[in-house]
Every structure is written in structure tokens, then in C-alpha cells.
Structure 1
Amino acid sequence: MSRVLRTPDARFEGLKDFPYAAHHLEVGEGLRLAYVDEGPRDAPVVLLMHGEPTWSYLYRHIIAALQDRFRVVAPDLIGFGRSDKLPEEAYYSYERHVAWMREWLERLDLRDVTLFCQDWGGLIGLRLVAALPERFARVIAANTGLPTGTGMSEGFRAWLEFSQSVPVFPVGMIVNGGAARELESAEIAAYDAPFPDESYKAAARVFPRLVPVTPEHASVAENGAAWCALERFDKPFLTAFSDRDPVTNGGERIFQARVPGTRGQPHVTLPGGHFLQEDCPDEIARLIADFAG
């Protein structure tokens, strides 16, 4: 395996609105996966899964709003946040990320889970739902998808071209640009914190290339199999896409057409850009609390 990079803890000290301790679990070949785990251990579990190029900081306000009532768990994907990183892009694959997160979920033995997933949090999280439906009580999908090689939106095409050509990958600027509101400088700095230099950004850089938007992409067959499982998933499944996301606009209709659990659910359109957690965290927290019961 590639050498492992570990962001110094000092870079995460004093981040705005993020007092949460990091818990750790080793997955794969000794990779340390970090996660937030707040609230009563015997409370219903809410799992918050982030995407590209964010980390659990994205959910800071939602964690604060839910932690008195729920056990709120927010992992950092390998390559992001406070989790270990690998400097070689070639080591990252869609299937490895799914395997790492499945191992983490099973090792923690999370059950009766309410999943909120966005961006790659859905590409990975929905694979977990498909593989382990018995562990999930309900799902909220927001600004995400489960592609099977049938093309891409113009918004995603522009993102793909930008992400692969920009010489310095500007993580904080990307998150700021993907939110409808203007982030404060301290918030932008918090998104840059996991990446001391470009060598730490291999996962962030490669993720857009891993989205299976063409028939030639890896993981097309695996995602197709996951759709077969989701087409039998009849537990509550809610869509909560935002109204200003050029990347996933209209994606909620695919879930509503194919997942039985979406029927009769109070689907919502939330105000915000791609990173809707930055634009309407209070609305998301209320939605999760009401949905989880």
C-alpha cells in the first residue's frame, strides 16, 4: 500500500463552530478513519455522509441541532477531513471507498440508521443501503445520485473539466462556490484545513473521475446491481434536493420513480446550492428530526 499521510491535529484546532472530538477506527490496510459521534449512545442513529471535497465539518450545525435527541454519526471518508490520506490517486477507487465504509459501519454495528447523504455521500451511502438494507430504517437523499454510465449533466461536465485541469485544487473556494451563500473566511479555512499541501488532495482530485458516467467507467455494474436492491427498498425514502444545484438538478425524480420507499413521502425542495448543508442547515435538521421520529 502507498505511504499514508495524516493531517496534523493542530490544523483542526479552534475551527469555527466545530467543537467535536474525532473518534477513530482502522479500516482496510491500517487506514485510520475519523468520525464524529455525538449524542446518547442508546438514541436512534442518524448517519450524515459527506461528499467531495468536504468533510464532517459540512454538518456542524446539523450535528448541534440533533445531538440532544439522536446519536449523530458523521464520518470523514478516507482521503478527507481528519481521516488518513494517500498521495497516489491510483490507490483510490469507488469500490475501495464502499468497502472501507462498509467495514466501518459493520465494525461500529450501526443499526436502525437514518441516513442523510449528499454528493459522494450518496454514491457511497446508497451502496451501503443496497448491500445492508437491514441496517437502515430510512433514507434522505439530497443532491446526489447513483450513476450507471448513462451520461452526465452539463453542470457535472463543467466540474469535471475544472477539477482535472486546475493546477492547485482550491478546496475551500470550491465549497464556497458551491453554496448559495458566501462563506466566512474562517469557514473556507476549515475546508482547507485537512490539506496542508497538494499531496494530501489525491482523493479530492480523483473523485470526479471516478463517478461512473460512461459505460466504460468502473463500478457501472456494481451500481446497476445496487439499483436492483434499491428497487426493492420499501422503507421510507425521502428526497430533499436543493433548488440551485446545476450538478444534480432533477435527480430526485429518478429516485422517486424507482425506489418503492419514496411513495407517499413528503418530498421537499430546499433552498440552496450544491452544498445545501451550508445554505439551510436548520431546515435539514428539522427535516431529519421529523422524518426519524
Structure 2
Amino acid sequence: MKALRTPPERFDELVDYPFAPNYLEVDDTEGGALRVHYLDEGPPDAAPVLVMHGEPSWSYLYRHMIPRFTAAGHRVIAPDLIGFGKSDKPTEREDYTYERHVAWMGSVLRQLDLRNITLVCQDWGGLIGLRLWAEMPDRFARIVIANTALPTGDHPMSEAFRAWRAFSQDVPVFPAGKIVYGGTVNKLTEAEIAAYDAPYPDEDYKAGARQFPTLVPDTPDAPSTTENRAAWEVLKTLDTPVLTVFGAEDKVMAGVEKVFQKLCPGAAGQAHVVLPNAGHFLQEDVGDALADRTNAFIAATS
């Protein structure tokens, strides 16, 4: 599998990202290997908070939340998905599949031997992270679900999602930083926009960012619908504590939190919330509140 690696100097001037890089390799499923970047902050012997980003962001999304987790005594693992951030970027769009992403991140969890995990997942971080929870539930202690879903294609996608997907495929230059900017309420500085653009020197690096919107299962016979339905059958049996924290201004994910509250046994009685003044990338808009609510959730369910 042919892949690109973003030159390290692209990340030299990042604002508010003082974290040391860590790397491991995963099987590319074609006889080679891909390098995955991840952050590993806080006490190494503490139970991990696994924070998973989505499209088209990377671990930079959690830069303001990580210090709040480590200050509370938690270890934080923040991987960059393949195709994003400082991780390797396969050049062909067909190299990116939902199932490969689940396998790649599953390999990360196993190689790091993460246990007693608190998962914080948003956007594609949820589509992948929730599958990992279903695949290896004994590794997870609790789940924080933020502006994400686990779609099976059995229900029509929202008009907002269809508009986003059409834009992502038609726009001549995929504007990663501006996309994150557009998914926030409080908006980003020019330096922050540049940080979201940093992983992509040119369009050749954006195959994954382009492909992700097309991988969301949107019809009953779409790829990965069978796997997601099977995952739901597992999740509906688990009593792992589940907290939903959604953004009130996220039009794509509006109302999806109710699905998790209804179907996940561990969601009963939890302090679910829809936060005002928070868009799709609520880590940018209300990251402090999301981190604090997660810390409180950990304390209440430990």
C-alpha cells in the first residue's frame, strides 16, 4: 500500500500543542505497515482516557482537554487515525475502508494493551470507537459519546449530512481547516485553522479526508451495515456506563443522542446533556465543559 508521510516541519509552529509524539506500526493488510501517531500524556500507570477524533480533524482537536484530564490524574491516549494528523496517509481512496479503520485502531489498543478505558469519541471517532467497544468490551470501563453515531443504514441520513457529503466530494480543494471552522460556534483563529491544515501539504495527502464521508453506511445494504448491526446487538447487552454529551448547534447529529440513551443499558440514570453554544466540533467550543463532565463521570462510576 503506497502511503505518504507528512513532513515533520509542517507541525513546527502549532499553537497550544506542546505534546511529545509517539509512534507504532499497524498491518496495512497488504503485506506492509503503516505508522500511527498517538499522544500519551499523564501518569503511565493510570487508567487511560482514550480520545478519538473524526473527520477531517486529528489529535490537535483535544489539545485543550488533555491538560484537564492529566490534572485529574488520568492518562490520555490520543491517536491520529490513518490518513490524518501525523499518521501515515495511504494515497488511494479505495485503501480507506470502515473495516480497515476498525482493525487499525484495534491494533493500537492491543499493542498498547489499554484496559479500564474511558472512551471519549466524536464524529468518526465514534463510528470506529464504538465498534471497538463492541469487539473488546472487557477493555472499556465507560463511554462518553459526543456528536457521533453508529449507523446501520436502516434510517435515512439527514439533509445536513447529505449536503456535507456532496460538498466533500465536489469541492476542488478540500479545506480541512475551514471545515472545522465551519463546524464550530466560537470559531477558530487563523493559527488554529492552519494547524488543521498542517497534515495536508497538498491534495495528494487528503485521500482519507475525501473518502470518509462516503464510508458512512447510509443504505441497508451499504458496506459495514452488517458489522454495525452486529455491534449494536452486543452494545444492547452491555451495562458499561454511557454518557452522551452533544452540541446544541450540531445539525448533522441532532437527536442521535436519544438512540444511545434508549438502546444502551448503561446510559440509564446518567447525567446526559446537550450543551448550548456548541457545534459539531464541541471540543473546540466547549472542550473544558466536555473534559470536566468526563472527569465527573469517571469519578461517579469508578
> Which TM-score band (shorter chain)?
over 0.9
2:170 and 2:78 map into 1 onto residues whose CA distance is: 30
Aligned to 1:257: 262
Within 2, Cα distance between the matches of 1:133 and 1:216? 26
Deviation string, structure 1 residues 246-293 (Cα, Å, up to 9, x no partner): 110000010011110101111111230000000001101101111112
Counterpart in the other structure of 1:36:
39
Following superposition, the deviation at residue 131 of structure 1 comes to: 0.4
Q: Distance in 2 between matches of 1:162 and 1:204?
A: 12
The SS at the match of 1:61 is: coil
Q: Which of 270, 281, 285 is the equivalent residue of 1:275?
A: 281
1:220 corresponding residue in structure 2: 225
Q: Secondary structure at the match of 1:280?
A: helix
Shift of 1:13: 1.2
Q: Which amino acid aligns with 1:171?
A: A
Partner of 1:285: 291
Unaligned runs of 5+ in 2: none
Q: Pick which of 149-158 and 127-136 moved more.
A: 149-158
Find the partner of 1:92 among 85, 96, 102.
96
| Matching residue of 2:175 | 170
Cα-Cα RMSD = 0.7
- Distance in 2 separating the partners of 1:109 and 1:146: 24
What one-letter code is carried by the residue in structure 2 that aligns with 1:8?
A: P
Cα deviations across residues 37-62 of structure 1 (Å, max 9, x unaligned)?
Answer: 00001112100000000000000000
Give the Cα–Cα distance (whole angstroms) in 2 for the partners of residues 233 and 216 of structure 1: 26
3-state secondary structure, aligned to 1:152 = coil
Distance 2:24 2:234 in 1: 28
Q: Secondary structure of 2:237's match?
A: coil
* Deviation of 1:216 (Å): 2.9
Alpha-carbon distance in 1 for matches of 2:56, 2:171: 14
1:13 corresponding residue in structure 2:
12
Which residue number corresponds to residue 204 of structure 1? 209
In structure 2, distance between residues paired with 1:266 and 1:173: 33
State which of 120, 123, 127 in structure 2 corresponds to 1:119.
123
* Deviation digits for residues 200-256 of structure 1 (CA, Å, limit 9, x no counterpart): 000000000000011231000000000001001101101101100011000001001
**Match of 2:187, SS?**
coil
Identity, % of aligned positions: 60
Instruction: Decide which of 25, 47, 53 is 1:50's aligned counterpart.
Output: 53
Corresponding residue for residue 25 of structure 1: 24
SS at match of 1:64: helix
Partner Cα distance (1:201, 1:219) in 2: 22
Structure 2: distance between partners of 1:270 and 1:106: 33
Alignment of 1:65-84 (within 5 A): 65-68=68-71, 69-84=73-88
TM-score for both structures, normalised by structure 1: 0.98
TM-score, normalisation: structure 2: 0.96
Match of 2:67 in 1: 64
